[in-house]
Amino acid sequence: MKVAMIEDDIELAEILSEYLKKYGIDVTNFDDPYVAISAMRIEDFDALILDLTLPEMDGLDILKKIREFSDIPVIISSARSDLSDKVIGLELGADDYLPKPYDPKELEARLKAITRRRTKPPKEPDFKIYKNRREIHFKSKPLHLTPAEYEVLGYLIEHQNQPVDREELLYACENLSENASEKTIDVIISRIRQKIGDEPKNPRYIQSVRGIGYKFVP
């Protein structure tokens, strides 16, 4: 297991690294948060141990920055026992909170726990297609879709993550005329977005791919 650590207390960092190495946990410490962030963009770590009490930069800001590009498990460690930090940290997606000083053994246990948990995120998808019912459910509730909307959304979902161009949709959908204008698609997409509450500015599910068409991201 390869773990990143952001800790400015070099001595503490070394103690922990030594200890964790004995349990097969490889720790790379960064005393400079910015270096850490750059490194994490390139290299893949299994977890991050983040010290909140850093000079120069606030630990929570670092977490926020990291969350912009990674959902790596994060354990926050801090000498501040400030409750609000704890709350904010967990909200930003930290997985655990460890007040200093702590027993290395505990850190090891939590690392193990977190990475174990990571391997089983069984979450219900937001969209489900019930072909035999001719229904699409969104967050467990059926959507009221017109035939064309049903077909378009269904097709996008089945081709999730890949951009589908408008012409393809016109041909794929029974309820769309093949020689209809491609603008028709735009109108239908707009109505679907309204029904699922997707804001076209920064849409969560149906994203427009400029020059091509649309793609569904689950």
Partner DNA sequence: ATCGGCGTTAACCTTTCATTAATATTCGAT
Partner DNA sequence: ATCGAATATTAATGAAAGGTTAACGCCGAT
211 lies in the site for DNA, by CB under 7 A: yes
Contact residues for 95 (Cβ-Cβ < 8 A; gap 6+): 73, 74, 75, 114, 117
User: Crossing angle of helices 183-196/147-158, nearest 10°?
Assistant: 90
138 lies in the site for a copy of itself, by CB under 8 A: no
Cis peptide bond upstream of 122, omega within 30? no
How far apart CA 161 and CA 173 sit, in angstroms, is: 19
Stretch that binds a copy of itself, among 8-16, 24-32, 39-47, 178-186 (CB under 8 A): 8-16
Among 162, 175, 197, 204, binds DNA (CB under 7 A): 175
134 lies in the site for a copy of itself, by CB under 8 A: yes
Stretch that binds a copy of itself, among 27-35, 48-56, 101-109, 176-184 (CB under 8 A): 101-109
Among 1, 65, 67, 163, binds a copy of itself (CB under 8 A): 163
Minimum CB distance to a copy of itself smaller for 110 or for 193: 110
Two tokens, residue 176? 């769309």
Among 116, 120, 123, 201, binds DNA (CB under 7 A): 201
85 lies in the site for a copy of itself, by CB under 8 A: no
Stretch that binds DNA, among 11-19, 24-32, 133-141, 188-196 (CB under 7 A): 188-196
148 lies in the site for DNA, by CB under 7 A: yes
Q: How far is CA 30 from CA 118, 172, 185, 200, in A?
A: 24, 53, 50, 40
Query: At 124, phi and psi to the nearest 5?
Result: -65, 130
Which residue bears the tokens 């994203």?
Answer: 207
Minimum CB distance to DNA smaller for 47 or for 169: 169
